[in-house]
Chain A
Amino acid sequence: MFRTVAELVEIAEKEDILISEVMIRQEMDVKNKSRDEVFAEMEKNLQVMEKAIEDSLKGVHSVTGLTGGDAVKIQQYMKEKKPLSGHLMLDAVSKAMGTNEVNAAMGVICATPTAGSAGCVPGTLFAVKEQLNPTREQMIRYLFTSGAFGLVVANNAFISGAAGGCQAEVGSAGAMAAAAIVEMAGGSPQQCSEAFAITLKNMLGLVCDPVAGLVEVPCVKRNAAGSSLAIVSADLALAGVTSRIPCDEVIGAMYRIGRQMPSSLRETGEGGLADTPTGRLLKEKIFGK
């Protein structure tokens, strides 16, 4: 079993296989399941993601009214205008935010790695797919690649905002997506790890400060940050840019930063944006005193 990104990349290089293949083989081994069974299970997750994006494009709104409808707004803008950040980029952002709008509206989503960060991986997948034209199998592999990197983070650091802040959630999710994009675009396992490291480095220190303790503000738009950064980082890695700090050391830094974060900035709704005049007012409006 791989414990670090270095080990993961080493296995892939030594056996001359994709990161996704390392993950698939390990999953078959750990769960004592066939390749078909493991693929079928992931296919189900993919379908949930697809459905959530579809639902979001019809327009969803949370019970509180704080979030919803932005994915539709962005898609409309893309039709009418020429987006400055480019079509693919904004498509990913709208699908990532859309997934989290569905989540905030208590719809059904697939956690990747968490619910609050569930937009980054599918959002980028369903946008990049338009340009790379992957097979269904490659789309499923995208999720295995994401999962392989996520496993390393979960076992060496954390993936929940309560434990490590938003860097652990959207930071991990965006970085997982970046690695998966690189593999789908034909990059090497090492380039996957560079893309992961570059993304996570730029998310270090991000706090979890949900207004009124809801997974809405700022969570939905943080997925815009995670998904767009994932695409930029993937491009950097594919261009041959490398991270000066190795991937596993970036994960280690994320862990130590999370341990130093006060609990007010780890999903308690007590600090940061939650503790702004507007944040406090919204909380009072929604829950009373």
Chain B
Amino acid sequence: MKYNSVFDIIGPVMVGPSSSHTAGAARIGLAARNLFGREPKWAKIHLYGSFAKTYQGHGTDFALAGGLLGFETDDTRMSKALKLAKEKDLKIDFIEDSAKTDHPNTVRLVIGDDSDQLEIVGISIGGGKVEITELNGFELRLSGNHPAILIMHNDRFGAIASVTKILAKHEINIGHMEVNRKDVGKEALMVIEVDQNIEDDILLELEKADHIIQIAKIVS
């Protein structure tokens, strides 16, 4: 089920005006920042559907900026996030995209700095709840209901085993897992939803495992 907690419905505590267009947008921005691992220097944000039509009125623009700056949904600096981003030299461009998408509240963020960049697609499904549907060209379904680790790796035999072996050793249970690759033997993405938050030392251990390129975690 998409919604599994009463606090998905009664909550989140948030700065107005819209749970899907403000709180949800902030959460997608924050997810992008967390996956990037640091504050980006620039962001190109494509807005689709209802997001594209109402982003100024609903505060989707400042909320996305707030998320990129690391703000939670109830951060009272939210409505000033665009100004704060400017002060921190985070350059943000909003692009109203008329392409049709499956969900009316869809946003594509390309964020980066001098050395790296990341592209994610998020949808805001209502009441502040969001899903990440694409990461660097990989399709995925990340509900945000559980903590998750995202692992970029090379498509080689043993890559998945090396990761699951480490999780098993630390007695971490996997609730949902999917693997996606661009092509045989090329870059691949493992998405693992787990039952508890993963400590940083386990992430470091995973990072050193065979065929692993990069790791990010999402705290639920």
Contacts and interface: CB of A to CB of B under 8 A. Distances in A.
A245 B110 CA distance: 48
A105 B20 CA distance: 17
Contacts, number: 184
Interface string B151-175: 0000000000000000000000000
A268 B16 contact: no
A106 B1 CA distance: 31
Contacts of A116: 17-19
A287 B56 contact: yes
Interface string B13-26: 11111111111000
A109 B76 CA distance: 11
Interface string B79-98: 10000000000000000000
A266 B104 contact: yes
Nearest to B59: A106
B2 interface: yes
A108 B19 contact: no
A154 B17 contact: no
A45 B13 contact: yes
Contact of B20 (A26, A106, A114, A269): A114
Given A210-B57, A214-B57, A45 B20 contact: no
B16 A160 contact: no
Nearest to B55: A213
Nearest to A38: B6
Contacts of A161: 20
Nearest to B24: A160
B127 interface: yes
Contact of B1 (A1, A32, A162): A1
A155 B5 CA distance: 11
A111 B128 contact: yes
Interface residues of B, number: 45
B53 interface: yes
A27 B104 contact: no
Q: Is the interface of A mostly helix, strand, loop or mixed?
A: helix
Contacts of A111: 10-14, 19, 23, 127-128
Interface string B126-170: 111000000000000000000000000000000000000000000
B74 interface: yes
Contact of A115 (B3, B19, B54): B19
B9 interface: yes
Contacts of A104: 16-17
A228 interface: no
Contact of B126 (A31, A158, A176, A263): A158
Given A111-B19, A155-B3, A267 B54 contact: yes
Contacts of B19: 111, 113-116, 118, 160
Closest 7 A-B residue pairs measured CB to CB?
A213-B54, A213-B57, A160-B126, A103-B16, A150-B9, A215-B17, A147-B6
Given A45-B10, A151-B4, 18 more contacts: A27-B6, A41-B7, A44-B13, A45-B13, A102-B16, A106-B59, A106-B78, A108-B14, A108-B74, A110-B13, A110-B14, A111-B12, A154-B2, A160-B105, A162-B49, A210-B57, A213-B55, A267-B21
Interface of A: 1, 3, 23, 26-27, 30-32, 41-42, 44-45, 48, 102-116, 118, 121, 143-144, 146-148, 150-151, 154-155, 158-163, 168, 176, 210, 212-216, 263, 266-270, 286-287
29 contacts: A3-B1, A27-B7, A32-B195, A44-B13, A45-B11, A106-B15, A108-B14, A110-B13, A111-B128, A113-B19, A114-B18, A114-B19, A114-B128, A115-B18, A115-B22, A143-B6, A147-B7, A151-B9, A154-B9, A154-B127, A158-B125, A159-B127, A160-B105, A162-B20, A213-B54, A214-B58, A268-B104, A269-B57, A270-B53
